[in-house]
Amino acid sequence: MKELLGQTILVVDDIEDTRDFLCVLFEQNGMRAIAAAGGHDALRKIRKDRPAVVLTDLCMPKMTGLELARRLRSHPAFIDIPIALISGTLPKDPTASPDIDVFLKKTCTLEYLLKTINQMILNTLNGTQAKRRQSLRDRQAQN
């Protein structure tokens, strides 16, 4: 997965062991991983070092992963960053959360997680992500 080499992944989770594990996984696969302990920490780190992908937990104190995604999508500079939400429990209707690009269960295999992140990066590189976000910008402008 050469597309992953050197790409920055922001891992957002309130559980330190989970953050550390995922950061090590991404770094062992040639990526640069940045850890954030929650949504507010993630917003600070995104402003400093724009990641290729944000991987966030759903259930966190103070700011959920869905709220983090909503805030990123409302900021023009960050609207194009792909967001994957990873959780033990997923929303019953993922279409009700248009700010999330990919939903992952925490029980998914590491191989599936890496392939999914790789595909998100490829979508960004080939412009698919930009087209999707332009559609979102158009809808926001109409409201």
Task: Return the pLDDT at 98.
Answer: 84
User: In degrees rounded to 5, what are phi and psi of residue 59?
Assistant: -95, 105
Q: Which helix (H) or strand (E) holds 11?
A: strand 8-12
Look up residue 85 and give its amino acid: L
Q: Can you give the C-alpha Rg of the chain in angstroms?
A: 14
Task: Return the pLDDT at 140.
Answer: 46
pTM of the model: 0.84
Structural domain tally of the chain? 1
CATH code at 32? 3.40.50.2300
Q: Comparing C-alpha atoms, which of 113, 128, 97 is closest to residue 29?
A: 113
Contacts of 119 (CB under 8 A, 6+ apart): none
* Chain centre distance of CA 19: 13
8 A C-beta contact, residue 114 and residue 4: yes
Q: How many other C-beta atoms lie within 10 A of the C-beta of residue 1?
A: 15
Task: Return the pLDDT at 102.
Answer: 92
pLDDT digits (tens), the chain, 143 positions: 565 678 899 999 999 999 999 999 999 999 999 999 999 999 999 999 999 999 999 888 999 999 999 999 999 889 889 999 999 887 777 666 788 999 999 999 999 999 999 899 888 877 765 555 555 545 445 54
Q: Comparing C-alpha atoms, which of 136, 139, 116, 123 is closest to residue 55?
A: 116
SS3 59: coil
Task: Return the pLDDT at 4.
Answer: 61
Range of the domain at 14: 2-142
